[in-house]
Structure 1
Amino acid sequence: MSLLKQLAGQSAIYGISSILGKTINFLLVPLYTGYLDKEALGAFTMIYALIAFLNVIFTFGMETAYFRFSTGKGLDPKHVYQNAQSLVTVVALSLGTFIYLFADPIANGLNYPGQAHLFRWVAFILTIDAILAIPFARLRMEGRALTFALVKLSNILLNVGFNVLFIVVFYHIYRDELLPFLRPLISGWYRPDWGVDYILLANLLANFLVIPILWFLLGKWKFELKKSILLPMWHYAIPLLFMGLAGVTNEVFSRGLFEYALPEGFYAGLSKREAGGIFGANFKLAIFMNLIIQAFKYAAEPFFFQQSGNKNTPELFAKVMHWFIIFCSFLMVLVAVNLDLIGNLFFRAEGYEIGLSMVPLLLMGYLFLGIYYNLSIWFKITDKTHYSFYITAIGAVITVVVILTLVPALGFIGGAFSTLACYLAMSIICYYTGQRHFPVPYKTEKGLLYLFVAFVLSYGGFFLDSGNAFINFFAHNSLVLVYGILIFLMEKKELYSLLRSFLKK
């Protein structure tokens, strides 16, 4: 119980920063839907899906390799850090330079003619993100969760501040609606027709300003490339690159390529890029599950490695998985049955609500991504990371097939189903292969029951409509209460035990 308490405490700190950060970032949704048109949101959806995909390539699994080789390998963590940081920096600068130099053909190939500057900014964003990845991993490795959280929050606040400045404040100054004496200062360079441009610029500036903060906290690093350290790290990390790509392949194919798979005129009155903007905006509503998954991953990955030598490791992993499913499935029901309220709160323009029905599928998909993160620890601590390649390849094929077959037929639902299908298949495969190589006594039947009931209640609440908003609110949230009672009845002994453990000083 003390180990679970430790993991929960670390997850809470990461979770608070994630929740605050994502909530602050989520507040940009009404700003974007209120100030930008659907075409600009479509461009935002595609380009940020591309960034998510390329981020994985720029860091190529070295964060997890750093965790692994800093513990249990008999190496000096300081030299592991210096070598990992040096290699990631070299690779990031090389790839970033390539994208920068070929920005024009990339822009034309992706149907953004005359906007090569967007992809030059993307090159800078990706390079800075990669260079900061290992320092952030070091904060996690050293258990400096609060420092990690504060730096991440600083980055998010800077990003949001620049977004508000460029998209709202400068816009109203330019139109003589705010601080008119400043209009002459910005009228010569401000572009009112820019949308995604200012989003990227805000991100770039925020990332750049975080570099000196991390260097101050961690000190300078010595450039060092030792073959004896990097070669085994490289062999360990490359399969994880493909596992990481699985986590974003779905993002790219379902969000970034949605507009390319959707037939013209599928949604009346909407271009394909505008429909992609609606799809991307509704994808944001799955953030409530995604932030929990992210917070858990931040805390669990170093925790799992640190506990890998414990003889009770399998039982510990099973307990973590069990309570992870319970917590996340409860969150899924809570969010899904209140989607009408959440949508009305955050969509500041008409037309976005037509995509709400896809969100429960996305919530379940992200839940299975979290399950996969739990399951995948077996091949990380046994150094069998090549299995991640096979699992990723299968997940990617499933994603492509679902996108190509279901988006033309089902539109938003087809795109969202690719998320669920990909992560569900990866979880199933990872579970069965893991049980052969590193058996863990998961409570599989009970977990599947929770997932099934949660999914049924989520869609049941979503489609339950009495015609009265007040009655709907109580009817929908009664389903949350029902699910909570079910959990209590099935887990009351464990709940009492956990409560006593957490109350101990």
Structure 2
Amino acid sequence: MLEKLAKQTAVYGISTIAVRFLSYLLTPYYTRIFGQETYGIVTYVYALIPLALTLLTMGMESSYFRFSGKADAAGGDVAAAKRRLFATTWGITSLAAALFFGAVLLFRNGISQWMGPDYVAHPEYVVWVGAIILFDVWSCIPFSRLREQGRALTFVGLKALSVVLNVVLAVAFGAAGLFSTDFGVGWVLVANLAASVVTWGAVLCTVDRTLPRIDRALLAAVFAYSLPLLIGGLAGTANEFIDRLMIYSLAPVNAGAQLGVYGAITKIAVVMMLFYQMYRLAAEPFFLSNFRKSDFVQMNAAALKYYVMVSMVIFLGIALFRDLFALIVGRDFREGIFILPVVLGANVLTGVWLNLSFWYKREERTWLAIVVTGAGLAAIVAFGGWLIPRWGYYGAAWARLGSETVMVAVSWWLNRRFFPTPYAWPRIGEFVAVALAAFFAAEWFTVLAGNKIAGYAFNILVFAGYVAYLVHRERIDLGAMLRAVLKRGER
């Protein structure tokens, strides 16, 4: 069964990497045409959008996966049950998004005053952001349906359509000189909105003529499952992006510029987040299916070990060569590259507690999500309030790492208390410890050698040595893996 998860992860992975690579082309582009403070406006807006998406989707994605699995287990007219589930979850999220957009239109001036002087001067920014959120929410459940059906290529193809259109429009607007007009970074939002509208129109072609229609009895059952996920999701999303908002409010000097640098550097951690995203896209519907408890426990334990192995390889690959990755962003933003290892460490921990969350979603004890993400939110507010006024965006990076550490610790305790799972913690700890030791050894050698070329050569040896260590420690048969891949390619 783990082979199925690996296959789905690979399908999402290869295509997602290609799509996200196109998307992240906007980072080097924007950081070369905008200054630090102007790019800070973009970073601030895109820190708020995920919070609104989490609120308006109301945890219905996980609910859709879980109740689809229950429909399969119940038997009978499974297709009709899934259509009713799809229509209901799509209907309630679409209604919530429409009401939200109406409120944004009515209160755009008040919202812009709350967001700050850059938005008071352009309250229309708020309306464009509200419209992006509207169409993204309308598309959310149809995309979840594609994942539940295992239609990974269709899912990624439509996502690619959105990204390509966004990139093409952004570059076209820049070439036309529109970013230099009074509307300025508003054209970033226009490009995003156009991509969202076209993607929504395209994903409608996959719904098989099903219309959003709310079944109240079904909604009550689904919402009872999803409400804790909504609350926990809000806390989790706030935890993921509140560091940006705290920089804007608490940084001792040049808050807008610091936010711009921080936003650009976090984008460099693209490979780690790509791996996390492709794993989540495959693992969420996989682990919320109706496996026997013994099968679920074994697969979840093994999946976490392999997730950490791959994550630490990615961590070293980026952290050891971060000076090269810094070339992705504009020259004015590279000053913050020293925070990259801390950001990468936080991203690794995000995937760890994602693995530790599947059991309570499967067991329908979703209220525990509130405990985990609530602890993380409290931690980042406490750490951020302490560190950001002292260290600026460097403090924000450490606050994020501290928050993710707290969520892993709480998740570990809850799992140990309510659903003991035989995770290979000693082996996982060993993988992390060896990777960190390799990283610090490389840092020490680079300082001692005082030569970048020698440092890069040593880093290559360290990276190759770590990969060899993992292969030997886990007795991975690379030849068998290669033969399996070639055999599939011949089919």
1:245 alignment partner in structure 2? 234
2:92 alignment partner in structure 1? 87
2:220 alignment partner in structure 1? 231
Output the amino acid matched with 1:91: A
Task: Tell me the distance in 1 between the aligned counterparts of 2:282 and 2:262.
Answer: 30
Task: Tell me the distance in 2 between the aligned counterparts of 1:23 and 1:114.
Answer: 33
Change (3 A) 1:371 1:246: farther
Task: Tell me the distance in 1 between the aligned counterparts of 2:123 and 2:142.
Answer: 30
Task: Tell me the distance in 2 between the aligned counterparts of 1:57 and 1:294.
Answer: 20
Question: Is contact 1:51–1:126 with CA below 8 Å preserved after alignment?
Answer: yes
1:184 alignment partner in structure 2? none
Q: Equivalent of 1:58, from 44, 56, 59?
A: 56
Question: Is contact 1:278–1:355 with CA below 8 Å preserved after alignment?
Answer: yes
Output the amino acid matched with 1:276: L
Question: Is contact 2:236–2:376 with CA below 8 Å preserved after alignment?
Answer: no
Q: Equivalent of 2:202, from 203, 210, 213?
A: 213
1:419 alignment partner in structure 2? 400
1:68 alignment partner in structure 2? 66
Matches within 5 A, 1:439-450: 439-450=420-431
Give 3-state SS (helix, strand or coil) of 1:334's partner: helix
Task: Tell me the distance in 1 between the aligned counterparts of 2:438 and 2:122.
Answer: 45
Task: Tell me the distance in 2 between the aligned counterparts of 1:239 and 1:157.
Answer: 35
- Is 218-227 or 404-413 further displaced after alignment? 218-227
1:9 alignment partner in structure 2? 7
Question: Is contact 1:336–1:461 with CA below 8 Å preserved after alignment?
Answer: no
Task: Tell me the distance in 1 between the aligned counterparts of 2:443 and 2:392.
Answer: 19
2:111 is aligned with 1:106: yes
Output the amino acid matched with 1:110: M
Offset of residue 307 of structure 1: 4.9
Task: Tell me the distance in 1 between the aligned counterparts of 2:210 and 2:440.
Answer: 51
1:158 alignment partner in structure 2? 165
Offset of residue 496 of structure 1: 7.6
Task: Tell me the distance in 2 between the aligned counterparts of 1:37 and 1:19.
Answer: 28
Q: Equivalent of 1:278, from 252, 256, 261?
A: 261
Change (3 A) 1:195 1:13: farther
Change (3 A) 1:462 1:25: farther
2:331 alignment partner in structure 1? 349
TM-score when normalising by structure 1: 0.90
Task: Tell me the distance in 1 between the aligned counterparts of 2:69 and 2:139.
Answer: 21
Question: Is contact 2:236–2:377 with CA below 8 Å preserved after alignment?
Answer: no
Offset of residue 412 of structure 1: 2.3
Per-residue CA distance 1:306-358 (angstroms, 9 max, x = gap): 253364221111111111110111111011101101102x12333x2221111
Question: Is contact 1:122–1:200 with CA below 8 Å preserved after alignment?
Answer: yes
Per-residue CA distance 1:224-263 (angstroms, 9 max, x = gap): 2112211111011111113322432233221233121101
TM-score when normalising by structure 2: 0.92
Question: Is contact 2:83–2:210 with CA below 8 Å preserved after alignment?
Answer: no
Mark the runs of 5 or more structure 1 residues left unpaired by the alignment. 175-189, 265-270
Matches within 5 A, 1:380-391: 380-391=361-372
Matches within 5 A, 1:459-478: 459-461=440-442, 464-465=446-447, 466-478=449-461
Q: Equivalent of 1:254, from 243, 248, 252?
A: 243
Change (3 A) 1:456 1:203: farther
2:31 alignment partner in structure 1? 33
Task: Tell me the distance in 2 between the aligned counterparts of 1:282 and 1:470.
Answer: 24
2:149 alignment partner in structure 1? 142
Output the amino acid matched with 2:300: F
Q: Equivalent of 2:287, from 278, 282, 304?
A: 304
Question: Is contact 1:33–1:347 with CA below 8 Å preserved after alignment?
Answer: yes
2:330 is aligned with 1:330: no
Task: Tell me the distance in 2 between the aligned counterparts of 1:422 and 1:215.
Answer: 38
Could you tell me the percent identity over the aligned residues?
28
Task: Work out the number of aligned pairs and report it.
Answer: 477
Task: Tell me the distance in 2 between the aligned counterparts of 1:296 and 1:17.
Answer: 12
Change (3 A) 1:205 1:327: same
Task: Tell me the distance in 1 between the aligned counterparts of 2:38 and 2:194.
Answer: 20
Q: Equivalent of 2:211, from 217, 222, 236?
A: 222
Give 3-state SS (helix, strand or coil) of 2:331's partner: coil
Question: Is contact 1:366–1:419 with CA below 8 Å preserved after alignment?
Answer: no
Question: Is contact 2:246–2:388 with CA below 8 Å preserved after alignment?
Answer: no
Per-residue CA distance 1:34-84 (angstroms, 9 max, x = gap): 111111111111110011211111111100000011112536111100100
Change (3 A) 1:331 1:254: same
Task: Tell me the distance in 2 between the aligned counterparts of 1:497 and 1:320.
Answer: 20
1:268 alignment partner in structure 2? none
Give 3-state SS (helix, strand or coil) of 1:492's partner: coil
Per-residue CA distance 1:1-26 (angstroms, 9 max, x = gap): xx122111111111122211221111
2:355 is aligned with 1:368: no
2:197 is aligned with 1:199: no
Per-residue CA distance 1:70-105 (angstroms, 9 max, x = gap): 112536111100100001111111112112221111
Give 3-state SS (helix, strand or coil) of 1:222's partner: coil
- Is 150-159 or 299-308 further displaced after alignment? 299-308
Per-residue CA distance 1:129-188 (angstroms, 9 max, x = gap): 111010000000000001111111111101111110112x111xx7xxxxxxxxxxxxxx
Change (3 A) 1:223 1:116: same
Give 3-state SS (helix, strand or coil) of 1:136's partner: helix
2:444 is aligned with 1:455: no
Mark the runs of 5 or more structure 2 residues left unpaired by the alignment. none
Change (3 A) 1:451 1:307: farther
Question: Is contact 2:9–2:281 with CA below 8 Å preserved after alignment?
Answer: yes
- Is 202-211 or 420-429 further displaced after alignment? 420-429
Offset of residue 399 of structure 1: 0.6
Question: Is contact 2:65–2:289 with CA below 8 Å preserved after alignment?
Answer: no
Change (3 A) 1:235 1:496: farther
Task: Tell me the distance in 1 between the aligned counterparts of 2:248 and 2:264.
Answer: 13
Give 3-state SS (helix, strand or coil) of 2:475's partner: helix
